[in-house]
Structures are given as C-alpha cells and as structure tokens.
C-alpha cells in the first residue's frame, strides 16, 4: 500500500488504518472487461491485477503470480463466466464478485415483468388496490409465444394503439419493431417464430410484446430515455444505493407517430442512434441527468420534478423487492444495474428495462468522467480497504436509498422542493450536484477519527 492516493482522503497516513478486510496486503483483482472499469482498477492505489484466464495481464507476464481463482479478492467478471463457474466455485470470506447467480430474474425483459406482476398481485391481495397502484410503472406486457392468446384479446380491446415487440434476451435495440395491426405479427410469426412442433429448431425465441408509450416527453422535438445506476450490495436484507449521475439518451430524429417503422425515431439506444445517417458524433445524443433535472425544473417547476424523481425511487425499490426472495443472495456478490426509464408527457416515469451489464465504454470525455467516478465510488462503497465506518449514507456519488427500509435524508440539499417543508425527505439525489471528491475527503476524515476514538 505504498502508492499515493488519487482520491483525497482515500488512503490513511497511518498504515494500520490501511488494513482492509483482506488484511495488511495489497488487494488482488481480476477483470474481464477492457473499458473504464479496468482503468479504475489499474489506477486504484494498493490494488494489483492478477493474471489468469480472463485477466487482461499479457500472457508473457503470467506465471509471476498465482492465477488460480482463490487468489483474487475482487473479480469484475462477465455474466457468462459467472454462469459457468459459480455453482462449482467456493468463495473465500474475503472475495467479492460482480453479479448475483440468477440476476436474469430482473434483467430479462419477460422475467422482470413476470416478477413485477406477481408482487403486484400479492400486494393487491394483502394491502388492497390503492397500494397495488404503486406498481403502475411498467407498460402492459405479454410474453410470446406463451401468452399470445391473452395478448390477442387485449389487442382487440384496444384497436389502433401501437405495440412494441422485443426479443426477451437481446439488447441494443436488436430485433425490435413497432406495429399497429395483428397482421404485422402474423407476418412476423411466419418469418421469425417457428412453432414448437418444428423439429428443426429448438424452443422458439421468447419475445415480449409491450404497449408502446405513444406520448413520450419530448425535448427539442426528440424522444429520450434516462439511464439510472443502482447498486445492490445485498438482497437479504435489501441494501440499495442510487448514483446521482447518469444521462439521458436522445433519438437523433424528431418524434412522430407517422413513421413507426423508423427505429431512429423510436429507439433511443446509442447503438441504434450512432448508425443514423445524420448522426453527429461531436454533438452526440446525451445529456447529463443533472442537466436534464435543471431543464425540467425550469420548465415544469421544482415540485413536479421532485415528484417525478420520487416515482423513480419507487420503481427502483419495487422492482428489486419483486425479486428479493428469488435472487440467490450471497454476501460475496454485488450488482450494478443500469435502469432505463422513459418519461411521458405527463412527467410520469415508465420502467423500460434493467441491465445487469450497463455499458462501461465511454462515448466521450464527459461520459468517461461520469463512468470513472461512478466505478471508483462503487469500489469506495464496497470498501475492501475497510476505511469507512459502515454507517455512511452517502459515499462519493452514491446515496443509500434503502437498507431494509427507506433511508431518510439528513439535510435538505439543493434538490428538495422549493417550500423545503418535506418531512422525512428520502435520501435520494438523482440528477443533483455531485461534489464527490469533496464529500469523500470529508467521510474519510470522519471515519479516521471515529476509528481512532
Ligand atoms: P434493448 O434491451 O434492446 O435496449 P429496450 O427495451 O431497452 O431494449 O428498448 C430499446 C428502446 O426502445 C428503449 O431505449 C426505448 O427508447 C424504446 N422503447 C422500448 N420499449 C418502449 C415502450 N414500451 N414505449 C416506448 N418506447 C420504448
């Protein structure tokens, strides 16, 4: 632990204070990705990369250090690796690894909705209809082919509305299309989806069909969605952190319902938009969440915007609760989710999907800085160095939203309603000022003096 800390307050001058859960030695990590997370890990004082099968350390350097799996303390692995190895792997007390075993219960589009529907029903049964309405944040959705007949009934009740069809397990807008007529899916069924009786294929690919939000909130005539980062350190008890930073992703082309086949109008994924013929990489298609919050507050009023952000908190907590009893909880695991939220013209947030591996590749300088801060602070929350007290409600840009119950804010910072009267304001600051370095300096100093005394 001899390197100089880059984050002020990060490393104590007293070597005894630098003992982590690992003990009095460097922290050894593995990383399956080559993007901002690797930069963060490589730049972290006292952390050393372990060569191994998935490590980025060149093969020539391998053999200088032990490479069997028990020799790492922290592993930013990909999902495939976890699926292949978790069941046969023994995790030592000190080891931390990305992803819970069955994270897909929340991050596959069909399973997410299935779990939400189940908790909604249970809530209605136990607490009544009004309470169950707090689940009205995902568009009506059916799984195909299993719920095809129920979907057709619903379709006939609402002729003329637009539906969106999405492969359950794909991402980046792949395989998505919009339709108004049942005939369009008849064509799709003939082309893409083969019935089970067709012996030449495996089980048909699962899709979800979802009511399309026809009235998205527009800025400059363009549709956007919001990426929100959420960190879960434990499912039992549920412990949830919300990152203040994030971004809005805009479509490149003005919104219109006349051209429902035009993905550049309707899908806000960067992977889709960057292929648009008039896409300008300089201008890009992102706003920071802070910029968005300021704009919305100026246009719609602080109170309305505060209410909207509170609804996003509700989406986060309800969705996590919907899988709380299903996820295989393991104290070695953590998950950083990327939530995709769409706002409609009434400023109502809709949950579109939850990603277990949100992109950590930076699209520009601002995006790099956001992701670097996000991931550095994630490591600060996990605190393998054991420098914090464990009682913090805020660590850098992460605010503790839920710890077996809602967390109440200590102060009314610059995002609370104008009248400032809110009693028990939630500890939630999405899109608020993120003075993370100053805050880290303060909490590390406080933690040092608490530990000394
Ligand atoms: P993927 O995993 O392929 O990114 P998403 O479910 O996130 O799939 O959808 C891709 C994009 O399509 C979203 O970012 C959003 O812009 C748009 N979209 C998806 N579902 C809806 C919906 N129900 N209403 C309006 N737009 C939607």
Both tokens of residue 229?
């980062």
Both tokens of residue 108?
């596959």
Q: Which of 288, 441, 442 is nearest to 370 (CA)?
A: 288
Q: Rounded to whole angstroms, what are the CA distances from 351 to 162, 299, 370, 384, 396?
A: 17, 23, 22, 32, 26
Contact in structure between 414 and 430 (CB atoms under 8 Å): no
Q: How far is the CA of 270 from the centre of ligand 1 (A)?
A: 12
Pairing of strands 333-343, 222-235: antiparallel
Over residues 265-269, the mean pLDDT reads 90
Name the residue of 272, 352, 353, 355 whose CB sits within 8 Å of the most ligand 1 atoms, as the mutation to test its pocket. 352
* Among 1-15, 228-242, 306-320, the least confident range: 1-15
Radius of gyration of the chain from its Cα atoms, rounded to whole angstroms = 23
Cis peptide before 237 (omega within 30 of 0): yes
Is there an atom of ligand 1 within 6 Å of 45 CB?
A: no
Contact in structure between 311 and 349 (CB atoms under 8 Å): yes
Q: How far is the CA of 338 from the centre of ligand 1 (A)?
A: 13
Per-range mean pLDDT, top range of 5-14, 240-249, 411-420: 240-249
Q: Which of 99, 132, 94 is nearest to 116 (CA)?
A: 132
Per-residue model confidence as pLDDT tens digits over 429-438 = 999 999 999 9
Residue nearest to atom 22 of ligand 1 (CA): 212
**φ and ψ at 316, to 5 degrees?**
-60, -50
Tell whether pTM > 0.85: yes
Q: How far is the CA of 172 from the centre of ligand 1 (A)?
A: 9
- List CB contacts of 187: < 8 A, sequence separation 6 or more: none
Residue nearest to atom 11 of ligand 1 (CA): 267
Is there an atom of ligand 1 within 6 Å of 110 CB?
A: no
Is there an atom of ligand 1 within 6 Å of 342 CB?
A: yes
Per-residue model confidence as pLDDT tens digits over 180-208 = 999 888 767 766 555 444 444 556 789 99
d(CA 31, CA 37): 8
Within a 10 A sphere around the Cβ of 220, how many other Cβ atoms? 8
Q: Is the pLDDT of residue 7 over 80?
A: no
The residue count for the chain: 453
Residue nearest to atom 21 of ligand 1 (CA): 212
Nearest atom, ligand 1, residue 211 CA: 23
**Buried/exposed code over 133-163 (b: 16+ C-beta within 10 A; e: otherwise):** eebebbbebbbbbebeeebeebbeeeeeeeb
d(CA 30, CA 42): 10
pLDDT on residue 60: 46
The residue behind tokens 């309800």 is: 318
d(CA 372, CA 441): 17
d(CA 273, CA 384): 39
Tell me if residue 31 falls in helix, strand or coil.
strand
The conformation of residue 195, written as its DSSP 8-state character, comes to P
Q: How far is the CA of 380 from the centre of ligand 1 (A)?
A: 32
Contact in structure between 366 and 88 (CB atoms under 8 Å): no
70 burial via Cβ count (<10 Å: 0-12, 13-18, 19+): exposed
Per-residue model confidence as pLDDT tens digits over 104-153 = 999 999 999 999 999 999 999 999 999 999 999 999 999 999 999 999 99
Nearest atom, ligand 1, residue 167 CA: 3
Q: Which of 134, 407, 421 is nearest to 303 (CA)?
A: 421
Contact in structure between 249 and 235 (CB atoms under 8 Å): no
Is there an atom of ligand 1 within 6 Å of 164 CB?
A: yes
* Among 160-164, 347-351, 401-405, 411-415, the least confident range: 411-415
- List CB contacts of 248: < 8 A, sequence separation 6 or more: 224, 225, 226, 227, 286, 287, 288, 289, 291, 292
Name the residue of 173, 213, 253 whose CB sits within 8 Å of the most ligand 1 atoms, as the mutation to test its pocket. 173
Both tokens of residue 135?
């689940």
How does residue 13 score in pLDDT terms, banded at 50, 70 and 90?
A: very low
Is there an atom of ligand 1 within 6 Å of 269 CB?
A: yes
Pairing of strands 163-167, 177-179: antiparallel
Nearest atom, ligand 1, residue 268 CA: 16
Is there an atom of ligand 1 within 6 Å of 248 CB?
A: no
How does residue 419 score in pLDDT terms, banded at 50, 70 and 90?
A: low
**φ and ψ at 376, to 5 degrees?**
-60, -45
Q: How far is the CA of 63 from the centre of ligand 1 (A)?
A: 46
pLDDT on residue 412: 53
Residue nearest to atom 27 of ligand 1 (CA): 212
pLDDT on residue 204: 75
Q: Is the pLDDT of residue 291 over 50?
A: yes
Q: Which of 354, 305, 307, 335 is nearest to 138 (CA)?
A: 354
Both tokens of residue 225?
């969605």
Is there an atom of ligand 1 within 6 Å of 406 CB?
A: no
Per DSSP (E only), the strands in 174-252 are: 177-179, 207-211, 218-219, 222-235, 238-250
Nearest atom, ligand 1, residue 109 CA: 6
Residue nearest to atom 18 of ligand 1 (CA): 267
How does residue 272 score in pLDDT terms, banded at 50, 70 and 90?
A: confident
In a 13 Å sphere around the CA of 400, the CA atoms on its Cβ side amount to 22
Q: How far is the CA of 271 from the centre of ligand 1 (A)?
A: 12
Positive or negative, the CA dihedral 135, 137, 139, 143 is: negative
Name the residue of 342, 350, 354 whose CB sits within 8 Å of the most ligand 1 atoms, as the mutation to test its pocket. 342
Average pLDDT score, the chain: 87
Q: How far is the CA of 342 from the centre of ligand 1 (A)?
A: 9
H or E stretch at 107:
helix 104-107
Residue nearest to atom 14 of ligand 1 (CA): 268
Is there an atom of ligand 1 within 6 Å of 166 CB?
A: yes
Over residues 42-51, the mean pLDDT reads 93
Q: Is the pLDDT of residue 62 over 80?
A: no
Nearest atom, ligand 1, residue 216 CA: 25
């Amino acid at each position: 632990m001899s390197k100089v800390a880059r984050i002020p307050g990060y490393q104590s001058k007293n070597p005894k204070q630098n003992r982590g859960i690992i003990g009095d030695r460097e922290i050894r990590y593995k990383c399956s990705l080559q993007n901002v997370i690797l930069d963060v890990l490589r730049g972290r004082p006292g952390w050393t990369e372990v060569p191994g099968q998935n490590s980025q350390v060149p093969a020539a350097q391998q053999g200088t250090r032990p490479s069997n799996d028990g020799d790492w303390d922290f592993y930013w692995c990909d999902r495939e690796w976890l699926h292949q190895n978790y069941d046969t792997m023994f995790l030592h007390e000190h080891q931390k690894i990305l992803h819970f075993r069955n994270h897909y219960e929340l991050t596959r589009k069909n399973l997410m909705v299935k779990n939400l529907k189940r908790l909604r029903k249970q809530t209605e049964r136990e607490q009544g209809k009004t309470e169950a309405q707090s689940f009205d944040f995902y568009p009506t959705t059916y799984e195909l082919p299993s719920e095809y007949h129920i979907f057709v009934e619903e379709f006939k009740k609402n002729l003329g509305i637009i539906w969106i069809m999405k492969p359950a397990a794909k991402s980046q807008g792949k395989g998505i299309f919009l339709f108004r007529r049942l005939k369009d899916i008849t064509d799709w069924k003939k082309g893409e989806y083969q019935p089970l009786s067709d012996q030449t294929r495996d089980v048909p690919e699962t899709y979800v069909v979802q009511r399309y939000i026809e009235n998205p909130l527009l800025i400059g005539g363009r549709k956007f969605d919001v990426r929100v980062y959420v960190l879960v350190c434990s499912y039992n008890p549920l412990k949830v952190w919300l990152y203040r930073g994030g971004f809005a992703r805009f479509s490149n082309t003005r919104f219109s319902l006349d051209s429902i086949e035009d993905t550049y109008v309707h899908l806000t994924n960067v992977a889709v938009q960057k292929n648009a013929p008039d896409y300008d990489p300089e201008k890009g298609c992102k706003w920071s969440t802070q910029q968005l919050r300021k704009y919305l507050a100026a246009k719609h009023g602080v109170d309305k915007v505060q209410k909207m952000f509170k609804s996003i908190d509700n989406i986060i907590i309800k969705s996590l609760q919907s899988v709380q009893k299903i996820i295989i909880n393991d104290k070695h695991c953590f998950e950083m989710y990327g939530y995709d939220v769409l706002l409609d013209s009434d400023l109502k947030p809709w949950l579109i999907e939850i990603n277990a591996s949100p992109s950590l590749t930076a699209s520009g300088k601002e995006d790099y800085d956001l992701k670097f801060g996000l991931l550095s602070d994630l490591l600060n929350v996990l605190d393998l160095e054991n420098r914090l007290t464990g009682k913090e409600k805020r660590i850098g840009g992460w605010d503790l939203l839920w710890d077996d119950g809602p967390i109440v804010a200590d102060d009314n910072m610059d995002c609370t309603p104008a009248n400032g009267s809110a009693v028990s304001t939630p500890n939630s600051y999405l899109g608020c000022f993120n003075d993370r370095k100053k805050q880290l300096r303060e909490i590390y100093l406080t933690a040092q003096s608490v530990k000394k005394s």
